[in-house]
Amino acid sequence: MNPGLPEGAAPGPVLEVSDLHVSFGGVRAVRGVSYSVRPGEVLGIVGESGSGKSVTTAAVMGLLPPGARVTGSVRLHGKELIGAPERVLNSFRGKSVSMVFQDPLSALTPVYRVGDQIAEAVRVHQRVSKETALVKALELLELVGIPRPAERALAFPHEFSGGMRQRVVIAMAIANDPDVIICDEPTTALDVTIQAQVLEVLKRAQAKTGAAIIMITHDLGVVAGFADRVLVMYAGRPVEVGGVDDIYYRARMPYTVGLLGSVPRVDRGGRQPLTPIEGNPPSPAALPPGCPFAPRCPMRIEACDEREPPLFEVGDGHRAACVRWQEVRPGPPAPPGGGPGPLRVRGARTVLAVRHLVKDYPLVKGAVFKRRVGTVQAVAGVSFDLRQGETLGLVGESGSGKTTTLTQILELTPPQEGDIVVLGHDIARLSRAERAEIRRDMQVVFQDPLASLDPRMTVHDILAEPLRTHGRRDPGRRVAELLALVGLDPSHAARYPQDFSGGQRQRIGIARALALEPRLLVLDEPVSALDVSIQAGVINLLDSLKARLGLSYLFVAHDLGVVRYIADRVAVMYLGRIAEIGHVEAVYDRPAHPYTQALLSAIPLPDPVRERSRERILLEGDLPSPANPPTGCRFRTRCPKFRHELTDGERGLCVRIEPEVRPLGADQGAACHYADKREVV
Amino acid sequence: MTLSEEELAEELTEGPPPAVPSRARVVAGRFFRSAQGRVGFTVLALMFLLAFAGPLFSPWTYTDKDFTAFMQPPSARHWFGTLQTGSDVFAVTLRGMQKSLVVGLLAALVSTALAAVVGAFAGYFLGWTDRALSWVTDLLLVLPAFLILAILSPLFGPGQWPLFVVMLALFLWMVTSKIVRGMTVSLKEREFIQAARYMGVPPVRIIFRHVLPNLSSLLIVDATLNVSSAILTETSLSYFGFGIQPPDVSFGTLIADGSKTAIYAPWTFWFVAGLLVVTVLAVNLVGDALRDAFDPSSSRKGPR
């Protein structure tokens, strides 16, 4: 038995991991992980990329590559799994322990029908006939909420949407009534509203099977509402373990405190700066001698560097690896929302205006004789404007048309329909000189910092490129200035982008965008590829740069927390149209469009108590195909209001007429015939 | 990093601007830091020195004939021996090396450059540019190169070697160009190319600054291979009596003649053959080192 973990009176642990070590060559990826889960319990394993959380799971499942050295013990129902022969491992994989992966597309075989795949999962471990297995498969599909299971079982994985595929994977995972379900970032690849659905399905699956769930994630919000106990990992070892409330409200490890402080939250208005964790996680090949977190820790003392602190017992079932745990205090409690802040007076100069923008893509079929079989309306009449010194957040799920809108603005080619006016110039009538001027004054920061920096160029050349393009001689000094501006060491200019960490690369991307002192910065998901603790630093940087350099941002993101933090105004897009637009505080505090309400309520908060008491507005189904949008209001097929609140007479209006954005109050407008403000966060 | 530290750093930058770490400088530095690069470059430089400065130290020129010494082994009078005609082997070998080095290296560079430019333009602009360039490429691919070179060879009289280089290069570039085109099409979608476009960098400059450097591994390997194949094509053309015309000599003509007498007079063959091998080896070393120098990930093999 593992002495430090709480001894439940009821059944003993199903899965017990003690002192697990994994090393690849000389690199120690996992250094002493111990935990146990009891039936029906949900254990959240939280950590940033490289913290060893996925390797731990792979070790438990016996799925590590041959080069890995595993020591320690993993016991399932008291049976040792480390060193067990492959035959034994196969008999429990998928039966007693099953897994849900991050990417549901690669977890399903593309050439088999979904129903057959689930039936196969059943037949591997149960001696039943094909027919019985198929019947069981249909039951499972029904359980995970796939409509018309008999019909959908005949479909192939690529015919399913991401959320539906993940449901299928969950169905396969529970096919054999497992005792433990390991979920490795099960919702990371999904949109927020779909994530809420899938989490709901997981809860249902757990209730049905009574299995223990190990939930591996980097999203502190997902764990808050779902887990009973949480294990925080850093540099290959657990640094804090405890009940979910202990971790979130009484954290005793500075890393946990830092992690919680660096999450931008949808429920907090009023711009408190985020507290990023300085520096970068250590490389597992070169760990510092003492506490691995010490180099980044705000509470570091000399004792920290002497040796790695063990897990101290800091409360009932709550352990933390910090020598100063008694002094560690969680961050200040969340101040109450405080209602919509004072509406700022908007700037006078418009830097970007988009009016009734439309962009269609033809759907063509055939290789030799291409014929048009339909039209995808990626953007269908979007209007917004952005004033000097303002940040407009453009949010929406995948397929909402936000990227297309952005591309249309950046391409500087005349739009198919509508107008785009950038910095006072209509882009349909641009002279060569004006185009060059806009290219200088409007810059872009991309989502993936590694992909957007030429891997073959030194940082110096990358930063000098815009300067040279727009005729600035001798860029050396300016490059050093820019690096310093974004908080990097100017002496690193001779390095290549791959020598930097993710956060530093994004800073280089930002420095490049700032090189020409632009007036408008277009940011395409600039922080979504970064870890939480790094993300906070980049957000703070963007915020301070905006104030210092008088920039305007068009900020595209799917993370509503980030947008609330950085934006002044927000536009919520749904299926190529704007559902709601307005001042951030107004839209977040009292959203008027049913879609905005659902979106906001779907976001998990890193606050267990509120998370448990929250009433979610769950959207049903998936985003309709943009090739064949519903008549009238585009949201009506998934609209909870349309389904449950409106009378048949009222619904007629939604079916017939597509609503335009109508103003509702000082700076807020929603495209709904029956908009009405509600608090949801 | 916090804001105060940023501002601090900003003030620290006031000072003499440091050496500008641009790509050319970094690549050159990395090239000369590798042993391969240094050795290859030195050997190649020595070969050039030998080919062009060597004849100054020899009492014989390649046209001289010593009628007192036919087919003599190496001696103090004739360092590499003499041929059946009484020519000094040292003098003719160096003369042949001059031709072959220049023709081989230039033909390889021209053909790779042509492949890179045509392929990248076709792949980047697509549309009509692509169609026109692809027609030309396909046309040259189906023409029998050897036959055409043979037919045109009377043109390559004395002093006409640049034309010969161009003709050689013209039949070496097509396959590489097709590969480059395909890679450019996929590279064009990458975000850093988009970033450059949105920055207002003109397309031609994007091709030379971003597309081609990212294909440099392929291009360098191609150029290295082309050096040997250009020397060999020239050799085989000369062997059949086309290409370099007498009284001028090249490695090709020398090897062709020497191979007949190699058994009983090895000095007529082995010096030429040895120098050819060393040249090709040096070119390969330089190519390898250059490829590594361009590739930022090559120097870090271990886990980071």
Select A350-551's CATH number: 1.20.1250.20, 3.40.640.10, 1.20.1050.10, 3.40.50.300.
Answer: 3.40.50.300
Question: Contact at 8 Å (CB) between A96 and A135?
Answer: no
- Counted residue by residue, chain B has a size of 304
**What is the model's pLDDT at position A511?**
92
- In which domain, by residue range, is B59 found? 31-64+75-294
Of residues A448, A489, A494, nearest to B21 (C-beta): A494
Chain A's closest residue to B200, CA to CA, is: A439
Q: How far apart are CA B296 and CA A122, in angstroms?
A: 49
Please list, in sequence order, all residues whose beta carbon lies within 8 angstroms of the beta carbon of residue A384, skipping any fewer than 6 positions away: A353, A354, A392, A394, A571, A578, A581
Residue pair A607/A244 in contact by the 8 Å Cβ criterion: no
Q: Please report whether residue B53 resides in a domain.
A: yes
Q: Which residues on A lie below 8 Å from B204 (Cβ)?
A: none
Q: Is the dihedral of CA A575, A581, A585, A590 positive or negative?
A: negative
Q: What is the pLDDT of residue B189?
A: 86
Is the Cβ–Cβ distance between A17 and A45 less than 8 Å?
Answer: no
**Burial class, A429, CB count within 10 angstroms (exposed 0-12 / middle 13-18 / buried 19+):** exposed
Backbone angles phi, psi at B58, to 5 degrees: -90, 135
pLDDT level of residue B111 (50, 70, 90 thresholds): very high
Starting at the edge strand that comes first in sequence, how are the strands of the sheet with A68-76 ordered? A27-37, A15-24, A68-76, A79-80
3-class secondary structure, B260: helix
* Domain parsing of chain A, residue ranges: 234-320, 350-551, 577-670
Say if CB A213 and CB A43 are below 8 A apart.
yes
Best of A27, A408, A440, A465 to substitute, by most chain B Cβ atoms within 10 angstroms, is A465
pLDDT above 60 (res A92):
yes
Cα–Cα dist A644/A401, whole Å: 28
- Does B146 reside within a domain? yes
Domain-located, residue B143: yes
**C-alpha R_g of chain A:** 26
* Averaged pLDDT for residues A175-187: 88
Mutation target to probe the B interface, by most B beta carbons within 10 A, among A28, A458, A546 is A458
- pLDDT at A335 > cutoff 50: no
Whose CA is closest to A118, among A102, A132, A106? A132
Helix (H) or strand (E) holding A201: helix A192-209
Instruction: Give me the helices (H) in A64-185, please.
Output: 86-92, 104-107, 114-125, 130-143, 149-152, 162-173
Distance from CA of A65 to the nearest CA of B (A): 16
* Structural domains of chain B, count: 1
Residue B304 placed within a domain? no
Backbone angles phi, psi at A181, to 5 degrees: -115, 125
Which residues are within 8 A (CB) of A648 and not within 5 positions of it... i.e. 6 or more apart?
none
pLDDT digits (tens, 9 = 90+) for A493-507: 888 888 888 888 899
Confidence band, pLDDT 50/70/90 cuts, at residue A338: very low
Across B14-38, b (16+ Cβ under 10 Å) vs e yields eeeebebbbbeebbeebbeebebbe
Task: Look at residue B141 in the predicted model and tell me its pLDDT.
Answer: 87
Residue with tokens 């940087």: A541
Question: A238 to chain B, minimum CA–CA distance in Å?
Answer: 23
- Over residues A462-495, the pLDDT tens digits come to 999 999 888 877 788 889 889 988 888 888 888 8
How many beta carbons lie within 10 A of that of residue A507, not counting itself? 24
Check if the beta carbon of residue B174 is closer than 8 Å to that of residue B115: yes
Round to whole Å and give the CA distance between A99 and B41: 56
Any idea what the CATH number is for the domain that residue B86 is in? 1.10.3720.10
Identify the pLDDT of residue B148.
80
In a domain, B229, yes or no: yes
Rounded Cα distance, B114 and B230, in Å: 15
Q: What average pLDDT does the segment B81-94 reach? A: 78
Give the chain A residue whose CA is nearest to the CA of B16: A477
Query: What one-character DSSP code corresponds to residue A347?
Result: P
- Identify any residues that bridge with A237 across adjacent strands, giving them in sequence order: A234
DSSP character string of B55-74? HHH-S--TT---TT-SSPPP
3-class secondary-structure state, position B119: helix
User: What is the rounded distance in angstroms from the CA atom of residue B9 to the CA atom of residue A488?
Assistant: 9
Q: Does the model's ipTM exceed the 0.85 cut?
A: no
- What residues of A are in contact with residue B5 (Cβ under 8 Å)? 487
Residue B75 scores a pLDDT above 50: yes
For residue B3, the distance in angstroms to the closest alpha carbon of chain A comes to: 8
Chain A residue at shortest CA distance from B297:
A498
Q: For chain B, which residues lie within 8 Å of any Cβ of chain A, measuring from their own Cβ?
A: 1-3, 5-6, 9-10, 12-13, 17-18, 20-23, 26, 190-192, 194-196, 198-201, 205, 209-210, 213-214, 216, 294-297, 303-304
Q: What's the token pair of residue A244?
A: 């979910």
The C-alpha atoms of residue A146 and residue A152 are separated, in whole angstroms, by 8
> In the predicted model, what is the mean pLDDT of chain A?
85
- The band of B9, judged by pLDDT with boundaries at 50, 70 and 90, is very low
Residue B19 lies in a domain: no
The residue with greater pLDDT, A326 or A556, is: A556
pLDDT, one tens digit per residue, over A594-639 is: 999 998 988 888 888 888 888 888 888 778 887 888 888 989 888 8
Query: What is the arithmetic mean of pLDDT over B87-99?
Result: 82
How far the first Cα of chain B sits from its last, in Å, is 23
